[in-house]
Amino acid sequence: MTPFNFSSRTDWDLLPNELTMRVTEHRRRGRRLLDLTESNPTRCELSYPGGKILGALLQPENLSYEPTPPGLLQAREAVAGYYESTAGHRIDPKQILLTASTSEAYSFLFRLLAEPGDQILVPRPSYPLLDFLARLNDVDLKAYTLEYRQGWHVDLNSVEHGLTPRTRALLVVNPNNPTGSGIRAQEREALTTFCRDHQIALISDEVFLDFEFEDSPSSGSPHTELPGTSSRPSPERTRLRSLVGGTEALTFCLNGISKMLGLPQMKLAWIASSGPPAALTAALERLEVIADTYLSVGTPVQHALPTLLHEVRDTMCQQILTRVRSNLRALDERVAQTAGLCERLMADGGWSAVLAIPRTKTEDAWVFEWLDRDEVLVHPGYFFDFESEGHIVLSLIPPEAVFREGIDLIFSRIEKVLK
């Protein structure tokens, strides 16, 4: 019999990679695992205010269904409030459209902006889900380079070179996963001008924006303050800054509660759109029809959103931020003891750290050795398309004790092998 015909866009190589196979076998044998790739916040021993979160879902309105394609107004107003209190930017709630996840937001935007075969400029290194999202939406990704020169920088030449008549959008991940690099003021200006001049959209994925590594010089990170409790932050105080509200280019900022509140299971994210009025109006109208086609965001989480943003965000953001900073400090202290064998690459924020490791063997060889001999799991850099070998990526959200023990084993192994 001839095989059944499936679409070529789903023609994936579904065989697990070698690392996945080894981890499965490791677990099957019942060995313990210090998982420094863990990125699911609900598995990281964070203290969720369960009563508040579940209470927010217990609303009688949840028993009726009023389909609202862009999302319930009170939920969109709460998102607008978030931008006002954190970025000091007032955005009309009508410019906010709710989606079930940031991944879905990407799909909506690719559908909005691109014909099959059109191109989206994306940073490299970055996170692998983008490849899947592009393929499922029939668009091609064209990489521009993030260069590491005492910190990550957008290689603006590579952006220019990546442009073709089929380019429809430029994507920034701000801060990027896994490099943790935010978009600097000059880069923001250059990229906005580029998008405006070439009539392409600017998409800014800001799911990690609230997790800045270093405290701002003055009163702490403005991104962790509750609405109404802070003086308006001056944008210069923080290196991580939302692109929300940009009017030069058609701009779409993506965020959601999956990372911001550590609640990926709630399935709520959004697109905050802005730009030149005519293009913005058309974009909002079309996005609304896309959203109407799926109506994918559940009613209970929309009703809960104001409470989640006003009463849960501060405590969750603060906890995750404390975790991330504490693990990063532990990593830096351990790096400092290795006498130059390793380097933690500079970054602005996010949930991961990149470690440059000795290139005496391949990334895989190191990663397999840590797994097999030390029971520690990390990701090799090539999973994220680093330009050269010699990197690993560590999640910064595992519990401190797990993280510290894990990195200690990693560095002890490096020292043993190289000394």
Ligand X SMILES: Cc1ncc(COP(=O)(O)O)c(C=O)c1O
Return left, alpha or beta for 155; rule: phi > 0 is left, psi -120 to 50 is alpha, else beta. beta
Dihedrals phi, psi of 277, to nearest 5 degrees: -50, -45
Is 393 a binder of ligand X (CB under 6 A)? no
Exposed, middle or buried, 26 (CB in 10 Å: 0-12/13-18/19+)? middle
Q: Which residues contact 73 (CB under 8 A, 6 or more apart)?
A: 93
Q: Using the minimum distance from each CB to ligand X, give the nearer residue, 205 or 210.
A: 205
Task: Tell me the window of 75-83, 98-106, 145-153, 182-190 that interacts with ligand X (CB under 6 A).
Answer: 98-106
Question: Using the rule CB under 6 A, which residue among 72, 80, 133, 173 binds ligand X?
Answer: 173
143 SS3 class: strand
- The residue among 127 and 411 lying less far from ligand X, judged by its C-beta, is 127
Strand ranges in 108-238 using DSSP code E only, listed in sequence order: 119-124, 140-148, 152-154, 167-173, 201-205
Q: Does residue 134 belong to the site contacting ligand X (CB under 6 A)? A: no
Closest distance to ligand X from the beta carbon of 279 (Å): 24
Site map 199..218 versus ligand X, x via CB under 6 A: ------x-x-----------
Of the two residues 258 and 414, which places its CB atom closer to ligand X in the complex? Answer: 258
**Which residue among 33, 62, 103, 315 contacts ligand X (CB under 6 A)?**
103
What's the closest the beta carbon of residue 388 comes to ligand X, in angstroms? 22
* Residues 105-124 within binding reach of ligand X (CB under 6 A): none
DSSP characters over 334-388: HHHTTTTS-EEPP-SBSSEEEEE--TTS-HHHHHHHIIIII-EE-EEGGGGT-SS
User: Residue 184 or 196: which CB sits closer to ligand X?
Assistant: 184
Using rule CB under 6 A, residue 385 touches ligand X = no
Do the beta carbons of residue 377 and residue 34 sit within 8 Å? yes
Angle subtended at Cα 182 by Cα 176 and Cα 283, rounded to the nearest 5 degrees: 75
User: Of the ranges 57-65, 256-264, 304-312, 337-345, which one interacts with ligand X (CB under 6 A)?
Assistant: 256-264
Distance of CA 349 to the CA centre of its chain: 10
Among 238, 258, 273, 319, the residue binding ligand X under the rule CB under 6 A is 258
The answer to whether 102 contacts ligand X (rule: CB under 6 A) is: yes
Binding status of residue 181 toward ligand X by CB under 6 A: no
Q: What's the rounded Cα separation, in Å, for the pair 272 and 89?
A: 12
Number of residues that bind ligand X (CB under 6 A): 12
User: Which stretch, 96-104, 194-202, 228-236, 304-312, contacts ligand X (CB under 6 A)?
Assistant: 96-104
Contact of 41 with 211, CB cutoff 8 Å: no
Residue spans of beta strands (DSSP E) within 63-198 = 96-99, 119-124, 140-148, 152-154, 167-173
Nearer to ligand X, 395 or 411 (CB): 395
If binding is defined by CB under 6 A, does position 264 make contact with ligand X?
A: yes
Both tokens assigned to 249: 């280019």
**DSSP-derived 3-state class of residue 40:** coil
* Nearer to ligand X among residue 167 and residue 174 (C-beta): 174
Least distance in angstroms from the C-beta of 106 to ligand X: 8
Which of 86, 95, 145, 177 lies at the binding interface for ligand X (CB under 6 A)? Answer: 177
Nearest residue (CB) to ligand X, 101 versus 145 = 101
Closest distance to ligand X from the beta carbon of 60 (Å): 28
- Nearest distance in Å: CB 108, ligand X: 12
- Sheet strand arrangement including 119-124: 96-99, 269-274, 251-256, 201-205, 167-173, 119-124, 140-148, 152-154
Q: Is there binding between residue 256 and ligand X (CB under 6 A)?
A: yes
101 sits near ligand X (criterion: CB under 6 A): yes
- The window from 95-103, 216-224, 306-314, 329-337 that contacts ligand X (CB under 6 A) reads 95-103
Q: What angle do CA 187, 133, 70 make, to 5 degrees?
A: 85
The token pair that represents 217 in the structure block: 């010089």
Choose, by CB under 6 A, the member of 83, 108, 110, 127 that binds ligand X.
127
Residues that bind ligand X (CB under 6 A): 101-103, 127, 173, 177, 205, 207, 256, 258, 264, 269
